[in-house]
Structure 1
Amino acid sequence: MGGTWERLIRVAKKALVSVLSGNAVTDEVLSTVFAEVESLLNGRPLAYMGSDVSNPSPLTPFYLLTGRSSVYVPSDILCTEQCTWTKHWQHAQVIVERFWRRWQRELLPTLQRRTKWMMESPNLKVDDVVVIVAPNSPKGQWPLSRIVDVFKGKDGRVRVVNVKTTTGTYKRPITRLTVLESVEKPP
């Protein structure tokens, strides 16, 4: 039952060990890194809420704890040039950025549906809410989108879809999408 949590913890620990090994960090930097990593981990979408699929709102661990989707604050507004602790803060930001890239690289493949060729998995369909898996996405951002059109291959399986995001409509292969389940039961 707790396999999902254990897998997430293992991936997070592995990413943290990888980015912290060989780095001499102060207690303040380590504390900052842990706080930001906590924010990144708890800000990931688990499912989407609401019956309006045109504007899905993500259900995150932060939402379950606080009633808000996220408390993540973009790092570019936290510090100005007058900060006396700028170097420590910048060091923490470098470590957190490396953690984000590593964690994303290791976690996202576990979220995508991958079944053996013998097992049939359901096709994506119009109005499914998905997270776009983008290796260059900004730290802490999980771009949600809604499928507006599907394109099938010669075998009848959906291979490519059009997704609608807040910035437009894009064509994406299904290998770059992770489906989110709805919190609400369908009518």
Structure 2
Amino acid sequence: MEYCGLEYHHLAHETAINDIKSSFYISRLRVLYKSVPSTCQRCKVNSAVSRPPQMAPIPIARMGSIQRPFTYTGVDYFGPLLVNVGRRKEKRWVALFTCLTLRAVHFEIAYSPDTSSCNMCLSNFMALRGTPKEIFSDNGLNFRATEKAVREDLKKIDNDKITIKFDGIKWRFNSPGAPHMGGAWERFVRTTKGILKNICPNYSFNDESLRNALMEAQFIINSRPLTFVSLDTDYDAALTPNHLLLGRNKWFEKVPPITIGSIVVIVDELLPRNLWLKRRVTDTMMDKDGHDRRVTIKTQHGVLERPATKIAVLDVGLEDGN
């Protein structure tokens, strides 16, 4: 059987079985012939497959909930993109920075893929987002050279003698030939390219319009919900990276106080909106900070006290309660 396997170059198993059967009677021939590859080194090599180890625990960079945004940052380049400069076209690259905890993105335009341009992109990023604690990337030559500057804690840009301090940044490189380890930013590269394609299908950008398109793509990506979008209530908004980068504007604007005599609707989640009671405010209770926290409402069944969050003031043209 081993001879037939070699004669047919370890292929055409049914043909080899047919030839053996024509000359010999062997009980359970097919089962025995299937055992030949287990003793053949060539078959072992040809059939060898990788066995990925069990997935590792979630890294600390994904769980830095008490850290500021971009404390743990992944970086990657994509491009080149052709831009119109006068009558000629030039190449531009995009440095994509992503917060591994909040899943937010930040874009910088690189004019070349070399080390000096990568250094300046990192400096521009740090000027806006702060100094990261750890940076993750692939093994690109520009990233390796930039990591060397970070390790030396000193960077010089061209001949301008500009020095920038890197305070304790740790740069971590993925294993060579393992792009799946950078899935956190590779997925954003694909998303960004799709947005740019929809903004300008023919990719006819100049430097100004490319930056504008990247800022729009950055806003779109950072506006995606990170939590479940509930359709049951109008008051629960899904959390997005922009909420954590730009801050929530819910408490920044003061609302007009509820005045005595105002006609209001009492919000009741247990009833349909058309059954909510409409009544007049008879008294308000002001807190120490000068805001109305509770109101008193007179109804046909007596006097009710409700929090200001459950009161909707109607615009019925009343002035001074008259």
TM-score range, shorter chain: 0.3 to 0.5
TM-score, normalization by structure 1: 0.36
Q: Which has the larger radius of gyration?
A: 2
TM-score, normalization by structure 2: 0.22
Which structure is richer in relative contact order (CA contacts within 8 A, separation 6 or more)? 1
